[in-house]
Amino acid sequence: MKKIAPFVMERNFLILMSGVFINGLGNGIYSVAGMLLVLNVSGSVLYSGFAFFAITLAGTLSFLIAPLANYAKYKNSLVYSNLIKAMILFTIPLANYTIGLNVWFVITLLFITALLTQYTYPIESTILPIIVGKDHVVEANSYLQTIRESMDIAFIAGAGILISIIGTIPSITITALCLIVVSFLYAFFNFQQPEQDREKSQSIKDAITNYFTDLKAGFNYISNSLVTNMIFSLVFINMSMAIMTTNLPAFSLIKGGGVEAVYGFYLASMSLGMLVGSIVSPKLKHIHFGKLIITTFTGTGFMWIGTSLLPLIPSMILFSTGAISIGILNILVFSSIQKQVETAYIGRVITVLTSAAALGMPVGSLIGGVLGETFAPEIPVMICGISMIIFGIFWLSSSVLRKLPGIDHVNLFSS
């Protein structure tokens, strides 16, 4: 019988896991309710495109936000950011029961909430090596992703059913309550944050200078690295994913005969695939990374083409299986970054990388909205599948990417 890793029972890791679990409950409900609320208030796939544009634009701007985390205690940042997000979400039911909801008001709140998430996510990535040690990062990430994705499967699927019973507004209220509980939990963190070489008292001018110095440091890590060879293909694939995701609520309603819960089932099936990818990723780290990505993402492309063409049940099965490659890529790349980058730079490097890769998502959201208004929602899903195959072909045609060894032997940040 396999022994439980010692870091699993460590106080701070248990707090982080508990926070991830409760966030999984809240985010599972919110991810379904938010997009359905926009679709219900507006009655248009085009506005779904605007909503997803706002959310992904926040992701693209995250490289400007992450350096701010260096000017506050990680613990305080996590506690107060989640509290602020909860207060913002509480304004949705408040507005609904008083003055009524406007679609642009909802989209604006989705954007602000997404911005705050871009601030907290790199902090969680940064504190993980502090809590478990760099030698356990891959295994710890696998634990956390397993919790995230397994909770997503249950909570997102359940969210679709919950929303069909109580509606989108009460469901968003539940998400806000979950964020308050997470803030309370994170208040019990007691890890030691590494000291920054920075004076405690400094002028506004010095603070701004240090901010841009931190920002530049993240870019320098990326610009002199192997990661630059991956950026173009990641931008392309994220644009394609945004085209599909924008149309997924309408696509799900068609496949499910108008039942809103089916949207939750599709999101849950994707989470199931990503969960499998997260679980198996430590077993795959010795396989040549280039060949692994080419094979898995090409397979994803064919599966998602099938998703667009087949009836509900086989469509969801293929959708889930195709998402395995995403879980594998996420764990292996981010674990490699956490192992190779100094703790003080992890948040900045991850944020710059994800911001660069997310450049295509706002564009994809708008394209997806237009395509969804012009054609049947199955077409954007098929386009995403074809794009996955093109992604695999691009990696195959690049000798640098094709020949990448196992991820443990890939030096991402050598110039």
List, as one string, the DSSP characters of 65-95: HGGGGGGS-HHHHHHHHHHHHHHHHHHHHHH
At 226, give phi and psi (nearest 5°): -70, -20
For 407, residues 6+ apart whose C-beta sits below 8 A from its C-beta are 285, 289, 332, 333, 335, 336
Q: What local confidence, expressed as pLDDT, does residue 201 receive?
A: 44
Q: What is the pLDDT of residue 58?
A: 77
Close Cβ partners of 184 (under 8 Å, ≥ 6 residues apart): none
Q: Which residues contact 260 (CB under 8 A, 6 or more apart)?
A: 36, 160, 163, 164, 253
For 114-144, the pLDDT digits (tens) are 888 877 777 777 777 777 776 677 677 777 7
34-84 tens-digit pLDDT: 888 888 888 787 888 888 788 778 777 766 766 666 667 888 888 998 999
- Interhelix angle 378-397/228-255, nearest 10 degrees: 160
Q: What confidence score (pLDDT) does residue 134 get?
A: 65
> What is the model's pLDDT at position 185?
92
Cβ(243)–Cβ(380) below 8 Å: yes
Residue 388: what pLDDT?
93
CA distances from 343 to 8, 111, 131, 279, 408 (A): 20, 29, 11, 25, 18
Q: To 10 degrees, what angle do helices 11-42 and 45-60 make?
A: 150
Please state, in angstroms and rounded to a whole number, the distance separating the CA atoms of residues 357 and 185.
Answer: 32
What would the two tokens of residue 34 be?
A: 């938010």
Amino acid letter, residue 118:
Q
Looking at residue 415, what is its pLDDT? 46
Q: Which residues of the chain have pLDDT under 70?
A: 1-8, 62-63, 65-71, 134-135, 138, 145-154, 157, 194-208, 210-212, 214-215, 217-218, 221-229, 338-348, 350-351, 407-408, 410-415
Q: For residue 200, what pLDDT is reported?
A: 47
Secondary structure of residue 101 in the 3-state scheme: coil
Dihedral angle of Cα 369, 372, 374, 376, to the nearest 10 degrees? 170
pLDDT of residue 1: 44
Task: State the Cα–Cα distance between residues 179 and 193, nearest whole angstrom.
Answer: 23
Q: Which amino acid, residue 225? A: S
Q: Can you tell me whether residue 270 is helix, strand or coil?
A: helix
Give the separation between CA 65 and CA 115, rounded to whole angstroms: 8
Q: How far is 118 from 75, CA to CA, in rounded Å? A: 16
Question: Nearest Cα to 52, choosing from 371, 337, 365, 316?
Answer: 365
Alpha-carbon torsion (325, 328, 331, 336), positive or negative: negative
Domains and CATH numbers, the chain: 11-188+210-409 (1.20.1250.20)
Judge if pTM exceeds 0.75: no
